[in-house]
Chain A
């Protein structure tokens, strides 16, 4: 069992958890993820590592309540409660080196996995330009944390309720067009956002790393359910990734595969909400 040391709400349906998992906290790095299972009937949920504290054994995760399992986590798993299973770190860590000037783009929940990458890139000497965006002011989080590790931080919102109105790809394009030398871009967020960002950087030939959140089960290379196509070749996102060269990724395939269980997810959520309304747990 893995105890929840801390839980706080970052926005509507967005919560941060610190889970006690000392073995993972010793070795977890930016770009890697863990798989957790809430209870005996639970699914294995992959979540990116935001931060590891080897001292306290805490692993920080940010969870957006998009489906039944994450919603249940928000509703029923509180500080002091325990999660049944927690395994990691999984996946390949981000390639952190001193590239020069880099742009780190986070859209929506993508800000969570992006933060440790920006932090570590800064630590090794990069000049880090951060671009973070959310649909609106309420959904924005980690602005302070990003601000602390970026040399410049650009904040965007779709509706203009916070920062500048527009998409994260807008300032990306402006910076590249200004002729400023950008060595590398990280873009993490919804598939469609990453797809747009790689099309912006492609003509400028700036290497662009994306992080793919395909549907996973084991998260250790045993099922192939997470496969994505990179440069026309099938790769397992859980072991070969989750980070890949964005210019080579087939995003349409990723989106199609992400949506495969849409019907089942809706059914599961409806059932959960109905039971919940009756005051019955699970």
Chain B
């Protein structure tokens, strides 16, 4: 099996494959290249950057900044291969059997979660990943100059209370929605988004419908028209140490909506876990890796970032990348 070789000379004679070009993978690549190893990044999308390119909107993180950072890596001699779906185009085992002495997996938490309520497949119901990818990665806000379309409509409802929900609802306003509403099942105190993001959202006129949970999406001719919700109250503490939201019987009501964005979290991207035998996973399907070194259950295979921790932060992903690079370097030299 032919696997693309690393393009640049290795001062150490060692070659590293990095899977996924998000913050974790990019950090590992830079750190390893700096230490003199030859590095190739394999990315399944057509651009590097991970969530920084497809998820976080331009108004919060200009794509030119991300591309400048990536350009700097290329100048250092990091080789980036886009359109490489590891698990399919090549497998982790093939990389190890081929040119590479060690592999880092930084494939992120790209699997969108849905609510599992009736009507969720209606036109107009998007995962936050789809909504943001269409807009940020595919530049649907420039349609028809760019070929990928998006429909936003008058009234967009985002379900969820994290940073992703804030980004989605604020993006909707910028795409011309007249009203953008966040529906969240707990109260303001429990909003997982950073305070600053909530503050920005409020300033821009995002409405908050708190202690509310969707129970059904209602459509007309296949298109979303309204959301049936139920009021919630906070009960006992749950595993996460927050008070568990419980529905209040008899409080169902409808909210009109042209578009719904579901932003209730992402699971680990399943492709590598599914195609890599002997890779230990936890019960959520995340890769099990040593917190200090990033080493997985497979010799010379390391992992870090959202694929290990579940959806977390850019800083944490970069930190995991730094630690893994240190450990990989020690292992190889």
Q: Which residues of chain B have C-beta atoms less than 8 A from A261's C-beta?
A: 149, 151
A189-210 vs B: 1/0 string, CB under 8 Å? 0000000000000000000000
State in angstroms the CA–CA spacing of A224 and B110 once bound together. 10
Within 8 Å by CB of B85, from A37, A90, A228, lies A90
Q: Which residues of chain B have C-beta atoms less than 8 A from A257's C-beta?
A: 121, 123, 222
B2-18 vs A: 1/0 string, CB under 8 Å? 10100000000000000
Task: State whether the Cβ of B306 lies closer than 8 Å to any Cβ in chain A.
Answer: no
Is the beta-carbon distance between A84 and B85 smaller than 8 angstroms? no
State in angstroms the CA–CA spacing of A210 and B120 once bound together. 23
Is the beta-carbon distance between B88 and A90 smaller than 8 angstroms? yes
Nearest A residue to B139, CB-CB: A41
Q: Which residues of chain A have C-beta atoms less than 8 A from B223's C-beta?
A: 260
Secondary structure dominating the interface of B: loop
Q: Which residues of chain B have C-beta atoms less than 8 A from A224's C-beta?
A: 112, 114, 126-127, 129-130
Q: Which of B140-148, B235-243, B280-288 contacts A (4 or more CB under 8 A)?
A: B140-148
Q: How many residues of B contact A (CB 8 A)?
A: 44
- A residues 221-278 touching B (CB-CB < 8 Å): 221-225, 227-229, 234, 239, 253, 256-257, 259-261, 264-265, 267-268, 271
> Whole-angstrom distance from the CB of A242 to the nearest CB of chain B?
14
Is the beta-carbon distance between A223 and B112 smaller than 8 angstroms? yes
> Whole-angstrom distance from the CB of B21 to the nearest CB of chain A?
14
Task: State whether the Cβ of B138 lies closer than 8 Å to any Cβ in chain A.
Answer: yes
Task: State whether the Cβ of A82 lies closer than 8 Å to any Cβ in chain B.
Answer: no
Knowing A43-B138, A223-B133, A260-B123 are in contact, say whether A24-B222 is a contact too (CB < 8 A). no
State in angstroms the CA–CA spacing of A26 and B98 once bound together. 15
Q: Which residues of B contact A (CB under 8 A)?
A: 1-2, 4, 44-46, 82-85, 88-90, 110-112, 114, 120-121, 123-124, 126-127, 129-130, 133-134, 138-139, 142-149, 151, 221-223, 269-271
- Pick 20 A–B contacts, CB within 8 A, sort by A: A22-B2, A23-B84, A26-B2, A42-B146, A44-B46, A68-B147, A69-B147, A87-B83, A87-B89, A217-B148, A218-B44, A221-B270, A222-B110, A222-B112, A223-B130, A224-B129, A227-B121, A260-B151, A261-B149, A267-B144
Top 7 A-B pairs ranked by shortest CB distance?
A: A256-B222, A264-B149, A223-B130, A43-B147, A87-B83, A85-B46, A222-B110
